[in-house]
Amino acid sequence: MKTVWISIIHHTQILIFIFSICHYTQAITIQVQSNAVIAPIQGSAFFSVDIECIGIPTIKWMFNAIDKQHRIATWTPGGSVNVTQLYEERVETHFNGSLTISHLRLQDSGYYIITVTEPSGNSKDAGVLLNVTEVLYEDIQYLVVFIIVLAVLAAFLMLCVWLLNKLYRYVKAWYIKRHLPEHNATELQPL
Ligand SMILES: *[C@@H]1O[C@H](CO)[C@@H](O)[C@H](O)[C@H]1NC(C)=O
Ligand SMILES: *[C@@H]1O[C@H](CO)[C@@H](O)[C@H](O)[C@H]1NC(C)=O
């Protein structure tokens, strides 16, 4: 009797061991290309992921911020895509699970979570942090360069005007110097 029990326990252990190995090999892997993405306002962000799992998975992307959380899109590669109304026309889903969000706003900054669910029910999460930046700084840089270019152009034009003025005065003086005596002579004749 005792040996039978030991045998059953032994077999159960083996079964658990086999089960855990199967479970381990079935593990989903989600490789996120970049854990943090920085994108400018009005630009677009691309969350590139590489998924490995058994069967055709269901992919879900969620948005998580301090004050809100909502679903962005759910789809199966090759199947139908269900995009939340809030993100319609702003979201592009890719076959490999990657997601593109365009027309970014400041409030899009936050944590984006992908959940991959296998047909068997196993699922796994991965996250990407998005930071939407204002382009103000770049704008100021452009403005400064623009002002400098304008200032240089203005200085050059002023120099040109000054030189032309000088030249004009010089030519005029030279002309008068050459022609004045004759004029004087002809004009003085009648007197
Ligand atoms: C996923 O697909 C997109 C679009 O086809 C591609 O640009 C991207 O490089 C892919 N990502 C990976 C990790 O393969
Ligand atoms: C998309 O998902 C929402 C929420 O789960 C659901 O109410 C809606 O019916 C789905 N739309 C389609 C076309 O499957």
Domain ranges of the chain: 28-135, 137-180
Nearest ligand (C-alpha, residue 85): 2
How far apart, in whole angstroms, are the C-alpha atoms of residue 8 and residue 24? 24
93 lines ligand 1 (CB under 6 A): no
What pLDDT tens digit does each residue of the chain (191 aa) get? Answer: 555 555 655 666 655 555 555 455 558 999 999 999 999 999 999 999 999 999 999 999 999 988 889 999 999 998 999 999 999 999 999 999 999 999 999 999 999 999 999 999 999 999 999 999 987 766 788 889 999 999 999 999 999 999 999 999 999 999 888 887 655 555 555 55
pTM of the model: 0.63
Q: In the prediction, which pLDDT does 137 show?
A: 67
Are β-strands 36-40 and 58-64 bridged in parallel, bridged antiparallel, or unpaired? Answer: unpaired
Query: What's the CA gap between 29 and 34, in Å, rounded?
Result: 15
What is the spatial distance between Cα 33 and Cα 27, in angstroms, rounded to a whole number?
19
Domain range 28-135, its CATH number among 1.20.1250.20, 2.60.40.10, 1.20.1060.10, 3.20.20.80: 2.60.40.10
Show the tokens assigned to 183: 């004029």
- Residue 55 · residue 76 · CB < 8 Å: no
DSSP bridge partners of 58: 117
Q: What is the pLDDT, as a whole number, of residue 21?
A: 52
Report how far Cα 6 is from the mean position of its chain's Cα atoms. Answer: 62
Ligand 1: nearest atom to the Cα of 31? 13
Q: What number of H helices and E strands is found in the chain? A: 2, 11
Q: Burial level of 109, CB count in 10 A (0-12/13-18/19+)? A: middle
Q: Is the CB of 69 under 6 A from ligand 1?
A: no
Dihedrals phi, psi of 145, to nearest 5 degrees: -60, -45
User: pLDDT at position 48, please?
Assistant: 96
Ligand 1 centroid to residue 101 C-alpha, Å: 14
Q: Is the CB of 92 under 6 A from ligand 1?
A: no
Structure confidence at residue 118 (pLDDT)? 93
Residue to mutate, 44, 48, 49, 99, ligand 1, most ligand atoms under 8 Å from C-beta: 48
Do residues 37 and 129 lie in contact, with contact meaning Cβ atoms separated by under 8 Å?
Answer: yes
